[in-house]
Amino acid sequence: MRKSTGRVCKLGVMGGTFDPIHYGHLVAAEGAREELALDKVIFIPAGKPPHKPGHDLADAGDRYLMTGLAIDSNIFFEVSSIEIDRPGPSYTVDTIQFIMNQYPGAEIYFITGADAILEIITWKNVERLLSLCYFVAASRPGYRLDELWEKVGAFIQCPEKKILGMEVPALAISSTDIRRRVREGKTIKYLLPEPVEEYIAKKKLYRR
């Protein structure tokens, strides 16, 4: 990722395994960009997700390339390989610190799934992380955000101000379901951008 040259004051950082990226992720990122008036959203595919040791993930390079293909048509979206290039587990606190150094003074919004944020109290240096940025918890309609705030409330005052909820109906699409469909030979058309669908077919991903 290049060091920022222009003034970027509100930055979205879209964290996820993206195995593979799909329309739910893209709708969530675009919704957050619009609602929070973000200058841009940087997608950061996790290199080695710390909570998934031993999981049979697609190669990090493939997940990075698929993310690039998916965001190509949106001038407000970028993809970064920082977590893939960094050795060891992909801790979010290290990523946010890195981004802050690249964009001094920027207000950072870390966007990810509400279920992932529900586990935030188990993440590395959570107190420091919570002091560095805001969080956007993307969820399906009907998700109990009050439960999430209750859990994180032990760590920070007013978690509902620090962790913003965002309902995203398109998140009915899930990477797990897409992988299962490919494995079973079912269609994944209209669940993710066509270039990503073509990439999965060309590289024969998720067939096992």
Interface positions with ligand NAP (CB under 6 A): 14-17, 24-25, 28, 46, 49-51, 90-92, 111-113, 115-116, 123-124, 138, 171, 174-176
- Return the structure tokens found at 57: 């993930």
The dihedral sign for the CA sequence 103, 107, 110, 111:
negative
**By the 8 A CB rule, do 188 and 20 touch?**
no
Taking the complex as a whole, the smallest distance from the CB of residue 7 to ligand NAP amounts, in Å, to 25
62-97: b (≥16 Cβ within 10 Å) or e: bbbbbbbbbbeeeeebbbbbbbbeeeebbbbbbbbb
Q: For ligand NAP, which is the closer residue by CB, 28 or 36?
A: 28
The residue number with the shortest CB distance to ligand NAP is 113
Taking the complex as a whole, the smallest distance from the CB of residue 128 to ligand NAP amounts, in Å, to 11
Pairing between β-strand 134-139 and β-strand 107-113 as defined by DSSP bridges: parallel
Taking the complex as a whole, the smallest distance from the CB of residue 196 to ligand NAP amounts, in Å, to 13
Taking the complex as a whole, the smallest distance from the CB of residue 52 to ligand NAP amounts, in Å, to 6
Q: For ligand NAP, which is the closer residue by CB, 6 or 137?
A: 137
Q: Reduce the DSSP state of residue 38 to 3 states and report it.
A: coil
**By the 8 A CB rule, do 143 and 118 touch?**
no
Q: For ligand NAP, which is the closer residue by CB, 80 or 90?
A: 90
Taking the complex as a whole, the smallest distance from the CB of residue 18 to ligand NAP amounts, in Å, to 7
